[in-house]
Amino acid sequence: MAKIQALYSRCSTDMQRDKGFSVPRQKKWLEDEAKHRKFSNIRHYPDDGYSAKDYNRPSFKRLLSDIENDAIDVVMVYKGDRIARNTVGFLEFVDLCNKHTIEIISLSEKFDTTTPTGRLTLTILASLAEWEREQTADRVSDAMWAKAEKGDFCGGQPPYGYDIKDKCLIINPTESAIIKLIYDSFEDDPFFRGVTRKLNALGYRTKRGTTFAQSTVKRLLTNVVYIGKQSYGKRAGGSKTIRKDASVFQARHEAIITEEQFNRVRYLIKNKPHERRDRKYPVDYILSELVRCECGGSIVTYTQPKKTKDGVKLYPYYVCHNYQSKGTCKRKKIPKAYLEQQVLEQVRKEAKLKFEEQEAKDIPKKNPQEHLKRVENTIRGIKAHRVRLIDALAEGSLPRDLVVSKMDRFTLELEDAENQRQILIAENDPKEKQERGAVLERVNKLNGDIFSLSDIDKKAIMRQIIKSIVVSKTGEIEIDLYEL
């Protein structure tokens, strides 16, 4: 069987497409050269929207597989950096091709990998390409630093309280009034939760139209932009962690808050108590992390201590996070004993019914494989978006602040998708199914005796057989058990 002449093309960003390096254009150049060389068995390996930072690319994986199977005798690319972004990665690919006596052809860099001189040329070219990319990233960083030092706005989305006009920050009258309210409210009552609930109760929303969260309020209360300054270098690589060595510069925009008030608020934040009161009182909540509110918020635990003549009496509750932290939900606190009693009773009944149905095989088993595949595709898509953002930052096609903002959003989306994936894998794992079946059988045999188990045993059982619990605003409880 005739060996394949592989034509590999790759493009990672819209910027590269705009510059004329799109995958269709690369394929056309490669096809023309293949015809000129009279190749008779060409095959395209296109990767559109993938970075070359690693080998995790669908067409490139196929190419590697065909190389390992000795199905290829030539690999042709438009340029060497289509294969890998760094010298080590590119040379590893060259070594692999040499082991299988495969020739590598680059249209823009003339070399023959079958000779020592050609391999030396290749190494030099790959090193230069890597050096150029690093220089570009450094130039972008230096330019942004110089811009921040001059007091110019560094790009990206404007902070709350400001708009952008002619690449400069200008005060948004409505939002700036809310910023002043946030600072004044925090000085009156220095708790993020209280300020957050107040903002949401008054109907105020973020720039994206969402309700305020405690983390948002804290960010607004610690942002030097509101005293007419700006920081640069406070985040690294899209990280959410604020670096202590970030530089602060005097900016050109008008301040909303006085520096005196900002410093007073900073002192209050630094010296406010951070420990939750209920952490002093350990209570076993058997439904923690399983319950959600109908509004979409998670149900968190809350232990309220009250002093009595006999000491401290604890009142444990389940409460919606959106009610407790934001004040946007009407579902008030639910006593721990009541909710757990209701759930255990319902689990006892549903477990009995489910076990009987499973024994009779009246209900066909669901197959979550299709759902799992969709979630995994979502994960791959999010990771590809993050890679393109990093490439765009290195190439200078997007402002750093915009990249950081988008990276934060993609990180949250990725965490949600990864959690879904783990749930689906566990749901479809034969061993997990067998264990859940055994637990259901145990619950069925225990019947009413389930209430006499310790909270630790109850908690273990709940996690084995319950996928989720939703509590409605009227107190109705909907339980979703895992499939057997």
Q: What is the pLDDT of residues 45-92, one digit of tens each?
A: 999 888 877 788 999 999 999 999 999 999 999 888 888 877 667 777
pLDDT band with cut points at 50, 70 and 90 for residue 221: very high
Is residue 115's pLDDT more than 90? no
Q: What angle do CA 206, 242, 138 make, to 5 degrees?
A: 105
- Sorted by where each begins, the domain ranges of the chain are 4-141, 162-271, 291-481
* Tokens 């220095």 belong to residue: 190
CATH class of this structure's domain 4-141: alpha beta
- pLDDT at residue 428, as a whole number: 61
> 203 vs 2, 181, 183, 196, 256, CA distance in Å?
70, 13, 17, 11, 21
- pLDDT at residue 412, as a whole number: 75
**411, 413, 419, 421 alpha-carbon torsion, rounded to 10°:** -110
Is residue 240's pLDDT more than 50? no
What single DSSP character describes residue 217?
A: H
3-state SS of 284-298 is CCCCCCCEEECCCCE
DSSP code string of 27-89: HHHHHHHHHHTT-SSEEEEEEET--SSSS--HHHHHHHHHHHTT-EEEEEESSGGGT-SSHHH
What single DSSP character describes residue 209?
A: S
Is residue 160's pLDDT more than 90? yes
DSSP code string of 412-452: HHHHHHHHHHHHHHHHH-HHHHHHHHHHHHHHHHHGGGGGG
Q: Which CATH superfamily is domain 162-271 in?
A: Putative Large Serine Recombinase; Chain B, Domain 2 (3.90.1750.20)
Write out the two tokens for 294: 């109908």
Mean pLDDT of the region 133-148:
69
Is residue 180's pLDDT more than 90? yes
Question: pTM of the prediction?
Answer: 0.45
Is residue 95's pLDDT more than 70? yes
Average pLDDT score, the chain:
78
Phi, psi at 2, each rounded to 5°: -65, 140
Write out the two tokens for 477: 């409880």
Mean pLDDT of the region 351-377:
64
Is residue 177's pLDDT more than 90? yes
Mean pLDDT of the region 124-151:
69
Is residue 270's pLDDT more than 80? yes
193-197, 236-240, 344-348, 420-424, range with greatest mean pLDDT: 193-197
- Cα–Cα nearest to 176, from 261, 255, 268: 255
